[in-house]
Amino acid sequence: MQPNDRFLLETIKGYCDDIDWAVKSFSLTEKEITENPGFRAMLAFFVQQIGETSGKLSEEFKNSHPEVEWKAIIGFRNHIVHAYGKVIPEILWDTV
C-alpha cells in the first residue's frame, strides 16, 4: 500500500459514512430518491466523490483487492459527472 492510499481510503470511508448518515437521518427510501432531486443530488455527490477518490488509489492497492469492482465504481462516477442530470434514481439507490 502506498502512503497516500490510507488517506484516500479514509476519505472514501468518510463519504460512505455521509451516505449512511443521510439515509438514516432523512429516512430515505427509493421513493424519496426518485421524487426529490435534492436528496438525489446529495447522494449522487457522495457516490461521485467515492468514485473520484477510488481513481486516485494506487494500482498496487487496487490490484491487491480484485474483489472490489474498481472499474465499476469509477465508471459510475464518470456517468454521474457526464450524464448531466440523467442519473437513473433506481440505479443510484441500488448503489447506495
Burial of 18 (0-12, 13-18, 19+ CB in 10 A): middle
Range ranked top by mean pLDDT from 17-21, 30-34, 35-39: 17-21
Average pLDDT over residues 64-81: 95
Instruction: Let me know: does 43 contact 96? Beta carbons within 8 Å.
Output: yes
Q: Among residues of the chain, what percentage have pLDDT more than 70?
A: 98
Instruction: Say what the pLDDT of residue 95 is.
Output: 94
Instruction: Say what the pLDDT of residue 26 is.
Output: 94
Q: Residue ranges of the domains in the chain?
A: 3-95
User: Taking 90 as the threshold, does the pLDDT of residue 85 lie above it?
Assistant: no
> Is the overall model pTM greater than 0.85, yes or no?
yes
User: Taking 70 as the threshold, does the pLDDT of residue 16 lie above it?
Assistant: yes
Q: Among residues of the chain, what percentage have pLDDT more than 90?
A: 89
